[in-house]
Chain A
Amino acid sequence: MAPTPCELCKTTRALVVRPKNHQKLCKTCFINIFETEIHNTITANSLFFSGERVAIGASGGKDSTVLASVLKTLNKRYHYGLNLVLLSIDEGIKGYRDDSLETVKRNAVQYDMPLEIVGYDELYGWTMDQVVEQIGKKGNCTYCGVFRRQALDRGAARLGIKHVVTGHNADDIAETVMMNLLRGDLPRLARATSIVTASAASDIKRSKPLKYAYEKEIVYYALHKGLDYFTTECIYSPEAFRGSARTLIKNLEKVRPSAILDVVRSGEDMARLVPEEVSGVGKSGKDILVVEGEAEGAGGCGSANGRTSGGEMADMEKQLLENEKSQGNEMEITLKGQKHDRNCKNLNRMPRKLPKQQMGKCARCGYLSSQDICKACMLLEGLNKNRPKTQIQVSVERKTVIQR
């Protein structure tokens, strides 16, 4: 078969077929068009302002690595004037996060960006390994998701940064739309499609510059640019609903590649139909209020379905678990209660942003919270209650071994 020429430059051999329009492109033209489209997303949504300090939620996975690479390139090419920093969360998962953090450390050198690592250990006194040791593998993603959101905020706050970008891609958004559709969760469906989320729980804004980028193209970009990224799955990730949504989306893509962006657009259109007082989304569809702990997290987590994505997983698993719980599986009473509270609040709340005064501080940790005690502290309370017992057991066992 004769080589197919690039449809743009007409000279070089095409290497990539774009999923959204079947356009056949050579490496150079593909990289160029991929970057230009991200730039267009950024400018069309006015994501940044000149001089802004922006933290990139970096897990070492393909999405956040591509995001860092593209932002570095665009910042220079279009003179955004951004001050970019890598922000990583160390959940404390041996054999997973310690390895991926090595990738982030290399990225920091490659992209010449400062790197800040925030550990669950230092923030909460618990690593995820310890959490799993105590509560088991079932439901641990809930903890990880709640902890991660605060951790990213705290990391950003530590750096004096008010804007965190995450590597959520079009496939992730499409999955989230499908999941919320399948669960009948219209408010979340509306919020999930938004490119910018502001949170009631913090003054730190989140955005998703790769929202319209196909996962497939992200991988192509990483491959053709020879980017260094990490690809092992979280060892604790469960097989779950998201895995099914992911498979569904990937199967759809195979039959009809444009389906992914179509689902994203449909999600946006549906979001516009959700009343503001339900979704908390302004009609612009850009700026969104997110209730504490609800926005998408960053960092890595995954599903054992053979897939982990750069950051959205923990949050979705968390949402998933919360949702399952709220439907009657009484696994986590505190969360169930919070979910209920949150829904009431959503219905009564004024549209658009809550005034700052309405936000309280967590009575325990002082972190901004819409409730007396923040969600992380609620989870920690449960963990800490059982901790002494567990520790004694462990130490006894160890002693026994040593004595023998």
Chain B
Amino acid sequence: MSTEPSKADVPIVVEFTGGLELLFSNQRKHRLLLPSSGEKGQPANTAFLVRYLCENVMKDKRKEMFIIDGTVRPGILVLINDADWELEGGDQYELKKNDNILFVSTLHGG
């Protein structure tokens, strides 16, 4: 990322697997500095992270493979520090320093 690190940025690790890595430069692990507040000054939560990833990290044009109706596509699991994001408040979870967010597609097989 070209963004200048600032004190306010939240360093996190985002991982993609289950086929999603193909949409993210074929790279499983991404270290990011997420702005600490969202577009409207709200705290950076996972809903903002998903939009941020879509706009800033995802180079693949097929955005609908990752995001549908403004949120993660049904069939993609989101784990916050190994736990289902439902247990952590879903898309309202506010990201903290060194969080690990894992996106896993259940939609691919082999």
Contact = CB atoms under 8 A, between A and B. Distances in A.
Contact of B75 (A61, A63, A250): A250
B19 A232 contact: yes
Interface stretch (A14-22, A120-128, A319-327): A14-22
A308 interface: yes
B110 A219 contact: no
A17 B108 CA distance: 21
Most buried by A among B65, B89, B107: B107
A30 B40 CA distance: 39
Nearest to A14: B87
A297 interface: no
A185 B75 CA distance: 27
Interface in A1-52: 1, 3-4, 13-17, 24, 27
A307 B106 CA distance: 8
A359 to B, nearest CB: 32
Q: How large is the interface on A (under 10, 10 to 19, 20 to 34, 35 or more residues)?
A: 35 or more
B84 A15 contact: yes
Contacts of A308: 107-110
Contact of B110 (A15, A16, A60, A215): A60
B74 interface: yes
Interface string B55-73: 0000000000100000001
Given A232-B19, A233-B19, A247-B74, A17 B87 contact: yes
Nearest to B23: A306
A193 interface: no
B88 A219 contact: no
Nearest to A103: B110
Contacts of B104: 219, 223
Contact of B19 (A3, A15, A231): A231
Interface in A191-242: 215-216, 218-220, 223, 229-233
Given A1-B89, A254-B74, A15 B109 contact: no
A309 interface: yes
Contact of A15 (B73, B74, B87, B93): B87
B100 interface: no
Contacts of B82: 15, 27
Contact of A306 (B65, B86, B93): B65
B43 interface: no
Given A16-B84, A220-B77, A231-B17, A100 B110 contact: yes
A59 interface: yes
Contacts of B73: 306
Interface string A302-318: 10011111110100000
A14 B82 CA distance: 10
B105 interface: yes
A223 to B, nearest CB: 6
Most buried by A among B17, B65, B109: B109
A300 interface: yes
A219 B87 contact: no
A246 B55 CA distance: 27
B77 A61 contact: no
Contacts of B19: 231-233, 306
Interface in A245-295: 246-247, 250-251, 253-254
Most buried by B among A215, A219, A251, A308: A219
A61 B110 contact: yes
Contacts of B87: 4, 14-15, 17, 24
Nearest to A308: B109
Given A231-B17, A231-B18, A233-B19, A17 B86 contact: yes
Given A14-B87, A253-B74, A306 B109 contact: no
Nearest to A15: B83
A149 interface: no
Nearest to B89: A1
Contacts of A336: none
10 contacts: A14-B83, A15-B87, A16-B84, A17-B84, A100-B110, A219-B77, A231-B18, A233-B108, A250-B107, A306-B108
Interface of A: 1, 3-4, 13-17, 24, 27, 59-63, 100, 103, 215-216, 218-220, 223, 229-233, 246-247, 250-251, 253-254, 300, 302, 305-311, 313
Given A1-B89, A17-B86, 14 more contacts: A15-B87, A16-B83, A59-B109, A62-B106, A62-B110, A215-B106, A216-B106, A219-B104, A247-B74, A305-B107, A306-B105, A308-B108, A311-B109, A313-B109
